[in-house]
Amino acid sequence: MDINATFIGQIIVFLIMLWFIAKVVVPMIAAPISERHKKIADGLAAAERGQKDLVAAESRVDAIVREARARAQQIEAQAQAQANEIIEAAKKSATVEGARILQSAEGQIALERQSARDELRQQVAALAVAGAGRIIEREIDPRAHAQLLDKLVAQL
């Protein structure tokens, strides 16, 4: 193999081409590749942050759901207790009202019983006076009749 001027020229052109490619073409190609590599790395980092954020959000959601359930149970317990208090108050009120109605009815019955007794005494007195008048066979004057009835009612 002979080294001649053509071969040296080709080597010089090849080296100039390598230098040109290294200085001009490689940076033109490397910049988009570097940008793309950076975008991919940023995307992967964002995906990892997103996964971590998702896990954190899920744990926060679980905590919020547990807290909401606990609050709902507390509200339900309070509502149940309040309902029981209302029922107990209604029972007490009904008992008091029933006792008042019963006492009122007993008082009314006592009044009616006394009224019936008084009326019965007056009727018995009237019958007694009428019977006594027939026995005596004469009419008693009305004033004496009223006085006699009042005495008889007082005695009964």
SS3 74: helix
Whole-model pTM: value is 0.44
Q: What is the largest CA-CA distance in the chain?
A: 189
Phi-psi region of 4 (alpha: psi -120 to 50; beta: other; left: phi over 0): beta
- Token output for 82: 């309040």
pLDDT at 101: 93
Inter-residue contact 117 to 137 (CB < 8 Å): no
pLDDT in tens, 94-121: 999 999 999 999 999 999 998 888 888 8
More confident residue, 52 or 131: 52
Extents of the domains making up the chain: 48-155
Report d(CA 109, CA 113) in Å as an integer.
6
Which band of pLDDT confidence, cut at 50, 70 and 90, is reported for residue 1?
low
- 148/136 Cα distance (integer angstroms): 14
3-state secondary structure of 151: helix
